[in-house]
Amino acid sequence: MLRRRPLSAALFLASVVTVATSAATLQPPEQFLGFKVGADNKLARWDRIVEYMKLADANSDRVRFRELGKTSNNNPFIALEISAPETLKNLDRYKNLARRLYFQGGAPADAERDEIFRQGKLVLLITCSIHATEIGASQMALELVHRLATDDSPAVKKILDNVIFVLVPSLNPDGQIMVTDWFNKNVGTEYANSPIPYLYHPYVGHDNNRDMYMFTQKESQHTARLLWHDWFPAVWLDEHQMGSSGARIFVMPATDPINPNVHPLIYRWNGILGQSQAAALEAAGKEGIIYNSTYTNFWEGAMAWSGWWHNQIGLLTEVASARVAAPIEQVRAVPGRPSTGSGAPAAPAPSGGRGEGPGRFDNSPLAAPTDITSRTEYPRPWLGGRWTLRDIVDYELIATMGLLEAAADRRETIMRQIYEVNRQTIEAGRRNRPSAILVPIEGQHDPREAAHLVDRLQMGGVEVHRADAAFEADGRLYAAGTFVIQMAQVFSRYAKDMLEKQTYPEVRRGPNAPPEPPYDVTAWSLGMLLGVDTVVVNNPLPAVKLTKLEGLPKLPGEITGTGTRFTFDYKGPDTAIAINRLLKDGGRLAFEAASRVSVTGLSRGKVEQVAKEFGLAVKANPEPRTRNPEPRTNPEPRTRNPEPRANPEPRTPNPEPPPSGGPFHAPRVAMYQPWTGGNMDEGWTRWVLEQYEFNLTAIHNADIRAGRLRQQFDAIIIADQNARDIVDGYEAPTIRPEYRGGIGEAGVEQLKQFVAEGGTLITMGNACDLAIERLPIAVRNLKRGLTRDQHFAPGTILKIEVDTQHPLGYGTAADTFGFYVNSPFFSVVEGFSSHRTNVIARYPNTDVVASGWLRGEELMAGRAAIVSVDLNPGRVILFGLRPQHRAQTHATFPLLFNALWASAPGDAPPKTSN
């Protein structure tokens, strides 16, 4: 086998001699798989793709295989490095030049800069099929690699000579395996169109493309390292698929609004390179190529988009979908005549991003396309017909080769202009305002979150320093140890965008047209999400010695005093891990007063270990005192908002002071998992609870209907989902019987029984309607019945006020921020006197929005965000806002955790008869 990097001159000669024959040694994918890539109803599974890529490495000196790490399910996450053999032999040198183009290690001197332009290679990253049902690109990758490894045409030679091509054949290998196995299980049966019943990522499903600033998932972390710690590609294309009924492919540029923190040149190159792809497709005679549609240029969080704030040209393609690998028929439109509407309605776009339905369950032909008007963005509309996986592969191959060629042609221009963007970014940070953003440690509600904040920024490639001494900035004094993010750095656009308040620039297509609602979330202000105060500094920083930070900063933890009863403050989510760890170690825990935890029954050494790990200041107390908590003193009424609205939610609604919380044990938590595509909010919740070391059990429709819930669980969580879908689910003869339907009326009765026996039912987002309507409870969902014109929020950070004297409000700051996405907000109404309703968190009377876009703000002012209803003995907790949204909202995680601990009072679960 031909190896790269020969060790001696003799070997080197041998390799040169065999280059010409290397083309013959890498088997074509068709031979390797036994079918042509993209053949109807045929899929290459991830293990076979990995095997082929290893074969390409072994048989071609143009291809290098790397495993970047493991996925969530422990499958290999891989990348290929593809270039001319001479480049691969000196890869470290070229990687260094690519890093220097992004000013890693400081600004290159003029001579080095010119060397980068003359000799450097353009690093271009392509990532495939993050959404696993959008499977075409992961298949296409096989033919692409074969072609680049074996083709000796001038076009391929030019690409190899000018570009270092980094290919990630799947950003979601676990999902690739799930979708392939599900497809193969059902193909040829009556269930061939049965939608995959669970999330196509172990935790987050489609939302895996919303993780590129919090980097919670392993796949996002591998990608972030590749992008901002390893290769620093100047161009990055992420390949997706969209709905089946309209345009055949979307190429860049995307559509308004743009984001003010992105350099305009990045948007220009989005257009140039996207249009190069379009031109290649037109040249090949392909129809249905569109740009300037659907996908907006504003928001953070998606894969290729996140490159823009890093001065990288991030591109997207979206190709029309087949039914995974099965072909689709669509009625042909007649140009000049509107669609007759025969055929089934169009499938929802697989890339819709949020709230996507389960898709269609049958295979009748799609209705004719309705958008058939030729125009600048869409000169040759798609008129309908047959569409197959092979069509997807063809479009993607042409678009990918078109990009590689354009990048090779423009290598030096792109590198010169990217250098300019980087230079100007640093220069602007030196000259303009702000000069820096500070993250103090002192005075934070939870300093551990300040550490998490800078850690996340570092994962995004941002340089963070710590001040070695106290200093003054903008007239204020900061302690030694304060985190400093200087704007004179190459990724300051990203840091600024992440830390400031977002203002969504409204788009109107005409002077009298209504504003268009945003495509996705409009707020990601990281300080607010984590509950961390950040400070923008306008004047130049004084000369103070700074030390560059590496990794997650640790805060010191210790025990003071002597005795066997240990107490510490519960502040922020990391403390929650400490609490769960101590419970697991066999400690007896209690809330003695608001947010004050006591531990007995554990050795000092055990407690000290936890204190050190989580940076806790633990006090050892000599006298073990009785477990019965002291009655709490009545808190001062809150007077933060002097002008009350007409009828605000009662500020001190709790009819009697709640207990301090008292002792609690490790809660037995059930997490409801619906079928038919799964529920992303469920997946995120599960991920968060696992990270914070809660034990949980997934339960399905049949488990709920089977009853005996209280014997098994203290709390049941139902994540954000339409109440009707929870009860009814999806029914169709083409769905596999075991995945049909919802919890049903029998399930509703069992949930009622669970609460009647003392269980805690936790409903999130739209699932709150299930509790409100079916239990019922005396709470009104004010979101209900409002039109999109009256109230709409695709993702906004809101101010909230938390009752931190109530056990369900412990651990958070009294004034903090919550994430809100079109879910209920509440009014408490008259109900049974035996029900005790507590408002745990409410929106302020004025200025509800903290960051992002919201229509109908005034409707939420003064209203309840989180409500707890004690039914004696059971309890229902309604989360209108999303305390765990996409695992980003650390500031409100404790509100969810409290609901779980509160469900498990006493030292052990209650004894129940079977």
Closest distance to Zn ion from the beta carbon of 212 (Å): 14
Nearest-approach distance from CB 223 to Zn ion, in angstroms: 15
Residue with tokens 């509309």: 381
Residue 87 or 296 with smaller CB distance to Zn ion: 296
| CB-nearer residue toward Zn ion: 351 or 679 | 351
Measured distance CA(580)–CA(610) in Å, rounded: 10
| Short-list 80, 120, 86, 82, CA closest to 418 | 120
Q: Show the tokens assigned to 894.
A: 């404790």
Q: Give me the least distance between CB of 239 and Zn ion, in Å please.
A: 9
Nearest one of 766, 764, 770 to 743, comparing CA atoms: 770
Query: In which residue are the tokens 């109530």 written?
Result: 806
In whole angstroms, how close is the CB of 304 to Zn ion at the nearest point? Answer: 11
Smallest gap, in angstroms, from Cβ of residue 183 to Zn ion? 17
| Beta-bridge partner residues of 849 | 798
| Shorter beta-carbon distance to Zn ion: residue 291 or 694 | 291
DSSP state of 886: G
Q: What are phi and psi of 326, to 5 degrees?
A: -95, 140
User: Cα–Cα distances in Å, from 207 out to 210, 352, 591, 708, 720?
Assistant: 5, 11, 36, 33, 14
CB 483, min distance to Zn ion, A: 35
Closest to Zn ion by CB, 206 vs 806, is: 206
For the chain, the maximum distance between any two Cα atoms, rounded to a whole number of angstroms, is 92
Q: Compare residues 138 and 351 and give the one whose CB is closer to Zn ion.
A: 351
Of 137 and 871, the one with the shorter C-beta distance to Zn ion is: 137
Dihedral angle of Cα 85, 88, 89, 94, to the nearest 10 degrees: 130
In the complex with Zn ion, the residue whose CB is nearer, 304 or 485, is 304
- β partners of residue 875: 760, 870
Report yes or no: 37 and 393 within 8 Å, Cβ to Cβ: yes
Q: Whose Cβ is closer to Zn ion: residue 136's or residue 440's?
A: 136
Cβ-based nearer residue to Zn ion, 80 or 135: 135
Evaluate whether 520 touches 353 at the Cβ level (below 8 Å): yes
- Token pair 């049958």 in the structure block, residue: 362
For residue 177, the minimal CB distance to Zn ion (Å) is 18
Return residues touching Zn ion (CB under 5 A).
Answer: 131, 134, 240, 351
**134 or 720: CB nearest Zn ion:** 134
Q: What is the CA radius of gyration of the chain?
A: 29
**Least spacing, CB of residue 238 vs Zn ion, in Å:** 8
Q: What is the H or E stretch that residue 366 is in?
A: none
Q: Can you say how many angstroms the Cα of residue 371 is from the centroid of all Cα atoms in its chain?
A: 32
When the beta carbons of 668 and 886 are compared against Zn ion, the nearer one is 886
Nearest distance from C-beta of residue 131 to Zn ion, angstroms: 4
What's the sign of the alpha-carbon dihedral 497, 498, 502, 507?
A: positive
CB of 240 to Zn ion, least distance (A): 3
CB nearer to Zn ion: pick between 353 and 818: 353
Question: How far apart are alpha carbons 172 and 66 in whole angstroms?
Answer: 16
Please identify, using beta-carbon distances, which residue of 347 and 617 lies nearer to Zn ion.
347
Beta bridge partners of 64: 81
Least gap, CB of 30 to Zn ion (angstroms):
27
Question: Within a 13 Å sphere around the CA of 664, how many CA atoms are in the beta-carbon half?
Answer: 26
The distance of closest approach from Cβ of residue 349 to Zn ion in the complex, given in angstroms and rounded to an integer, is: 9
CB within 8 Å of 493: residues ≥ 6 apart = 261, 262, 263, 309, 310, 311, 425
Q: Which is nearer to Zn ion, 300 or 574 (CB)?
A: 300
Q: Is 478 helix (H, G, I), strand (E, B) or coil?
A: strand
| Least distance CB 888 / Zn ion (angstroms) | 20
Q: How far is the CB of 351 from Zn ion (least distance, A)?
A: 4
Name the minimum Å distance from CB 324 to Zn ion. 13
Which residues have C-beta within 8 Å of that of residue 695, sequence separation ≥ 6?
Answer: 666, 667, 668, 669
Residue nearest to Zn ion (CB): 240
Which contacts of 596-601 are long-range, i.e. CB under 8 A and separated by 24 or more positions?
596/567, 596/568, 596/569, 596/570, 597/567, 597/568, 597/569, 597/570, 598/565, 598/566, 598/567, 599/565, 599/566, 599/567, 599/568, 600/564, 600/565, 600/566, 600/624
Nearer to Zn ion, 294 or 351 (CB): 351
The neighbour count for residue 637, using CB atoms within 10 Å, is 7
**Taking a C-beta distance cutoff of 8 angstroms, is the pair 228, 123 a contact?**
no
Q: How far apart are CA 779 and CA 763, in angstroms?
A: 13
Least Cβ distance, residue 73 to Zn ion (angstroms) = 20
Residue with tokens 């921020």: 817
Q: Coil, strand or helix: which one is 401?
A: helix
Q: Which of 134, 211 has the CB closer to Zn ion?
A: 134
